[in-house]
Copies of this chain bind each other. A is one copy, B any other.
């Protein structure tokens, strides 16, 4: 009997005006909310106002932390946690894309656990404030996962990100995974994505796609994560044509496409909540850490080399249980056709220097263990080379 573990306790609700209509869920979480969000987007897309309206209708008070940067550092989440503690909040309301949700989850732990960085990353805690999540991109799926991914600035190298917005190059993206930070509620309202432009929309979709595709190719993939991955992949592929002909005004992307993408990304979150992610994520972190490449795009750049490598390995080694056919069944096409369509979405690829390639090839070895076929150092280097060489 193959071992299967499935857990996804978040209560998901999707509908128009979702937060307000389901505000009773927030009412059950405590008297005072700690809203964690990014600098601007939740204001512009209406989600912040909707949250405030729901909380006020409940007679709940709140404090706001709106200084989450892209790829939040552990420094940022300690800062958020200190403010949460000072404001005596009872629960955390995360509003935004992956970065605010990642930060909110870690803050929910640190607000009631006075622990240093290493204890956070090693999960040496047994409590966290309850969390509710409102995604404003369709990509991360963090609203249905128990993960918080942070940039650990612990090491001495202090070069800044190209965009200067916070995280430090040479550092690792590290994941805190704990059932304690599964959001209790995921409020899905696709209206918050209406104004997301072409690049943000496509990069986040590719993140979701990568979650679903990688989810099929992990050691921890199981019967239920496969079912969800299949659905998510099918849905995203259905939207490819609409994404390729992205309209001049983001609002002109049909509401139905926005809704499908949101469903697919939350579902892909449910997938990786079970399966974890593959070497693609570990490799992609390198692009983000060193170049500031968007997380979704970083994964996307690596998918083709990774999938072609998997296919070659399956052909060469009859002892490998083939998974590429399972993927192709979900894709509804062969790998080459899919990779071609993905290339069209990705556009022109970044290029790395030989030194970068070799540094990265050596750096991600330690993270390959959850991939269903474990690549060696040379193979990882080769995938990097094919992606951005």
Contacts and interface: CB of A to CB of B under 8 A. Distances in A.
Contacts of A15: 1-4
A255 interface: yes
A243 to B, nearest CB: 19
Interface in A183-229: 188-191, 223-224, 226-228
A255 B1 CA distance: 8
B12 A5 contact: yes
Give the number of times this chain occurs in the complex, counting copies. Answer: 2
Interface in A1-21: 1-9, 11-16
A230 B191 CA distance: 29
Interface residues of A, number: 32
Contact of A16 (B1, B227, B267): B1
A263 interface: yes
Contacts of A228: 224, 227-228
Contact of A12 (B4, B190, B259): B4
A231 interface: yes
Contacts of A188: 4
Contacts of A3: 13-15
Contacts of A11: 5-7, 9
A190 to B, nearest CB: 6
Nearest to A144: B6
A228 to B, nearest CB: 6
A246 to B, nearest CB: 21
A13 B8 contact: no
A11 B8 CA distance: 8
B12 A6 contact: yes
Contacts of A267: 223-224, 227
